[in-house]
Amino acid sequence: MKTLKLLSVIFLGSMVLTSCVAEVVVEEDVYIEEPVISLNTVLSSYEIWYVDIERTKGTGEIPFLQKAFTVSFRNGTFFANNNLVGLGNNGNGFGLDVGSYDTFRMNLDIAHDIDGVYELEVTQFADDEIEIYDRVTNTSYYLVGYQRNGFDYDQVFYDNIHYFLQEYETWEKIFTSEFGVLNEFDNENYLKFEYFGAGENFKSSEDVNGIPINDIFYDYSGHYEINDIINTLDRKTLTLDYDSPDNEFFELSVINDNKIELFHPSSETVYRFVGRGHIQFKSAEKGKPTQNERKRIKKADFMKLTK
């Protein structure tokens, strides 16, 4: 009897231990770590995502992000503000419908109407900040989230005036003030601004007013540069660096998204130009420079400073 009782105790004990071990294994097998908040919830929690282009890392580019000032993710539709003309009004502030998107875990698939399909990875750094990473080009873009009523469209506009000038095929002079000293720029009737990295990125013409855009002959060319005026948001400086020894310096003001004013300090003359031939951007063919172009521009600026 004692022997049988002892064997029974050993048998029952081994069953209990085996059962305990089995439960631990099962629990480990079925445990899955899920994100606290889904990527789709993160993307849709802000109406506007500002593309902080200066923080971009990598030598490649995602074309539709390289061009965009803001992007939005709305119920599977991908929106972008690629133009400064109409910024804040186009698409009720969201911009153009430029494609569609889908999410899975922290992966973001964007099907752009022009640039095609991109499989991207998203990392959230804060409630209002994400990184979008393209493994193919090893490039990261950083986006900051805003609601439309709290987003400063004017700040974005004035921070990127050089892109605004590029959004028209040409600018035609419509007004020259009666006051001011006569100078050579009085004869210039058209200005054309091209994107950085395009070599000589501005041209001017003395052709008569009102002719078709394609018939304009540009007499001069060179490089232009825009800089801030300290403690002034709504005015910039514009320097036209002609191939000839002479440069022209102006204070640039924007009257509306089709008209600019140039004040010429050396002669105290005021000029006004209107934009002709608006260019609606939907891809990165023009506008913001690529990553490599940005690096070349910065290197060139550094070389100028060290001379």
pLDDT of the residue at 198: 52
Report the half-sphere exposure of 81 (CA within 13 A, side-chain side): 29
Q: Which two tokens stand for residue 94?
A: 């969201």
**24-28, 82-86, 109-113, 257-261: least confidently modelled range:** 24-28
Sequence-separated contacts (24+) of 88-96 with Cβ below 8 Å = 88/153, 92/148, 93/47, 93/48, 93/148, 93/151, 93/153, 94/47, 94/48, 94/148, 95/68, 95/70, 95/71, 96/282
* Residue 29 or 305, more confident: 29
Domains 39-152 and 168-278 in one fold: yes
Distance between CA atoms of residues 196 and 193, nearest Å: 9
Give long-range contacts, CB 8 A cutoff, 24+ apart: 152-161: 153/87, 153/88, 153/93, 154/233, 155/233, 156/50, 156/69, 156/70, 156/84, 156/87, 157/84, 157/87, 157/254, 158/233, 158/234, 158/236, 158/254, 160/69, 160/84, 161/226, 161/236, 161/252, 161/254
Contact 144, 48 (CB under 8 A): no
- Mean local confidence (pLDDT), 116-142: 95
Domain boundaries, the chain: 39-152, 168-278
CATH architecture under which domain 168-278 falls? Beta Barrel (2.40)
CA distance 296 to 238: 21
Min mean pLDDT across 38-47, 76-85, 231-240, 290-299 is at: 290-299
**Torsional class of 231: left (φ above 0), alpha (ψ -120 to 50), beta (otherwise):** left
The C-alpha torsion from 61 through 67 and 73 to 78, rounded to 10°, is -90
Report the predicted TM-score, pTM, of the whole model to 2 decimal places: 0.75
| Residue 16 in this model has a pLDDT that exceeds 80 | no
Phi, psi dihedrals of residue 102, rounded to the nearest 5°? -145, 155
39-152 is a CATH 2.60.120.590 domain = no
